Structure 1
Amino acid sequence: MSAAPLTSDELTAWSRFIHEICGVHLDGSKGYLIESRLAGLLRETASGGYAELLYKVKGDAGHTLRTKIINAITTNETSFFRDASPFELLRHKLLPELIDRRNQAGLRPVPIRILSAACSTGQEVYSTAIVLKELLGNFRGYDIRILGLDISDAAVAYASYAIFSRMEIDRGMTSDKLSRHFEPVGDRWKVRDELRATATFRRANLLEPIASTPPLDIIFCRNVAIYFTEQDKIRLFRNLGRNLARDGALIIGATESITGLCPEFEPKRYLRSVYYQKREN
Structure 2
Amino acid sequence: MLKITPDEVNLISRYIHRVSGILLDQTKAYLIESRLGRLVEEMGLSSYRALYEKVRFDGSKTLERKIIDAITTNETLFFRDASPFQLLQHKILPDLIDRRSGKSSGLLPISIRIWSAGCSTGQEVYSIAIVLKELLPDLRKFSIKLLGTDISDSAVAQASYGQYSKFEIERGLPRDKLLKYFNANGNHWKVKDEIRAMATFKKQNLMESFLGLGRFDIIFCRNVAIYFTLEDRKKLFEKIANSLEGDGYLIIGASESLTGICSRFEPKRHLKSVFYQLRE
* TM tier relative to shorter chain: over 0.9
SS in 2 for 1:30: helix
SS in 2 for 1:259: coil
Q: Structure 1: which 4+ aligned runs deviate by more than 6 Å?
A: none
Match of 1:60 among 58, 61, 65: 58
- TM-score of the aligned structures, taking structure 2 as reference length: 0.97
Amino acid at match of 1:40: R
C-alpha displacement of 1:187: 2.1
Give the whole-Å Cα distance in 2 for the aligned partners of 1:7 and 1:168.
35
Give the whole-Å Cα distance in 1 for the aligned partners of 2:140 and 2:15.
48
Matched, 1:20 2:18: yes
C-alpha displacement of 1:91: 0.3
C-alpha displacement of 1:29: 0.6
CA contact (8 A) 2:117 2:220 kept: yes
Give the whole-Å Cα distance in 1 for the aligned partners of 2:141 and 2:211.
27
C-alpha displacement of 1:138: 3.0
Give the whole-Å Cα distance in 1 for the aligned partners of 2:31 and 2:213.
35
Counterpart for residue 44 of structure 2: 46
- TM-score of the aligned structures, taking structure 1 as reference length: 0.97
Identity %: 56
Give the whole-Å Cα distance in 2 for the aligned partners of 1:93 and 1:270.
8
C-alpha displacement of 1:260: 2.2
CA contact (8 A) 1:259 1:266 kept: no
What's the Cα RMSD here? 1.0
Give the whole-Å Cα distance in 1 for the aligned partners of 2:94 and 2:181.
21
SS in 2 for 1:61: coil
Give the whole-Å Cα distance in 2 for the aligned partners of 1:231 and 1:214.
24
Counterpart for residue 261 of structure 2: 261
Give the whole-Å Cα distance in 1 for the aligned partners of 2:25 and 2:50.
21
Give the whole-Å Cα distance in 2 for the aligned partners of 1:105 and 1:139.
18
CA contact (8 A) 1:208 1:239 kept: no
C-alpha displacement of 1:7: 1.4
Give the whole-Å Cα distance in 2 for the aligned partners of 1:163 and 1:29.
35
Matched, 1:197 2:197: yes
CA-to-aligned-CA distance 1:88-135 (integer Å, 9 cap, x gap): 000000000111111110152011100000000000000000001111
CA-to-aligned-CA distance 1:132-186 (integer Å, 9 cap, x gap): 1111123121111110010000000100001111111100111100111111222
C-alpha displacement of 1:194: 1.4
CA-to-aligned-CA distance 1:179-203 (integer Å, 9 cap, x gap): 1111122221111111111100000
Aligned length in residues: 278
Amino acid at match of 2:211: A
CA contact (8 A) 2:237 2:261 kept: no
Counterpart for residue 126 of structure 2: 126
Match of 2:87 among 86, 89, 93: 89
CA contact (8 A) 1:207 1:239 kept: no
CA contact (8 A) 1:159 1:201 kept: yes
Give the whole-Å Cα distance in 1 for the aligned partners of 2:47 and 2:171.
37
Amino acid at match of 1:213: L
Counterpart for residue 250 of structure 1: 250
Match of 1:71 among 69, 72, 94: 69
Amino acid at match of 1:224: V
